[in-house]
Structure 1
């Protein structure tokens, strides 16, 4: 199982988690809202402020992965890894990581542009 720690206050982030959830026909993902009241008790190894800056995931072997590596692990878990695998290719990964960090830093503004909503009060996945 892959555990993805996501920002439920980001409309674009929630939209991606909804899509991943819809593809997860085998129960391969656990999607965890970093803003849940008991988050720190349930996941003491994950710093919520760090997870709020960059996507965090724990792969099926228990290893923590971050950013686009987390995205790739999540998409691979739902058999869609081939859609994003190219983002991890040598030469491409460096540029993709820079673009991801820009996106992560500006995700609320980008959400406002793309969805009309900058933030939500813990958007629901369903």
Structure 2
């Protein structure tokens, strides 16, 4: 990755994921729009094919794209999104070569478990509710209030 990125970075995240949504809330509070754009891939209007990707691929691994069109995925997408939000020192361990294989393994494990974490409380709480009788916990799944 070039050391002088082309901002802004567009981060494609799963807003239905409770842990992901917590991280995005932190990034949203810290990052300027000139540095970081956030796109929720769980919204009904998102079209992964317009980016040349499948929705499944975007669900399986975090994706981000710089203004010049360069993609970063996985841990690198996390690293650059945190840098864009001014939190680079907290993400610095992601750049440590000896630690990287262990972090990659942990990331792959998280990606495999993430779809099963929908039972966790979502930070958006009631804002995720539609109407007065149901709240969306994941795309296509509703539960009563």
Unaligned 5+ residue runs, structure 2?
1-7, 123-135, 140-145
Structure 1 runs (4+) deviating above 6 angstroms are: none
Larger radius of gyration: 2
User: So what's the TM-score if we normalise by structure 1?
Assistant: 0.81
Q: Deviations over 1:51-105 (max 9, x none)?
A: 1011111124321111110000100111111111212211111110110110111
Query: How far apart are the structure 1 equivalents of 2:121 and 2:45?
Result: 30
- Superposition RMSD in Å: 2.3
Unaligned 5+ residue runs, structure 1?
none
Picking from 100, 105, 108, the partner of 1:101 is: 108
- Once the two structures are superposed, the pairs formed by residues 22-33 of structure 1 within 5 Å of their partners are 22-25=29-32, 27-33=34-40
Residue 75 of structure 2 corresponds to 68
Query: How far apart are the structure 2 equivalents of 1:79 and 1:70?
Result: 14
Q: Select the structure that is richer in strand.
A: 2
Between the two proteins, the alignment pairs up a number of residues equal to: 119
Query: How far apart are the structure 1 equivalents of 2:47 and 2:121?
Result: 31
Please tell me whether residue 87 in structure 1 is matched to residue 104 in structure 2: no
User: So what's the TM-score if we normalise by structure 2?
Assistant: 0.71
The residue matched to 2:86 in structure 1 has which SS?
coil
Larger relative contact order (C-alpha < 8 A, sep ≥ 6)?
1
Alpha-carbon contact 1:72-1:84 (below 8 Å) kept: yes
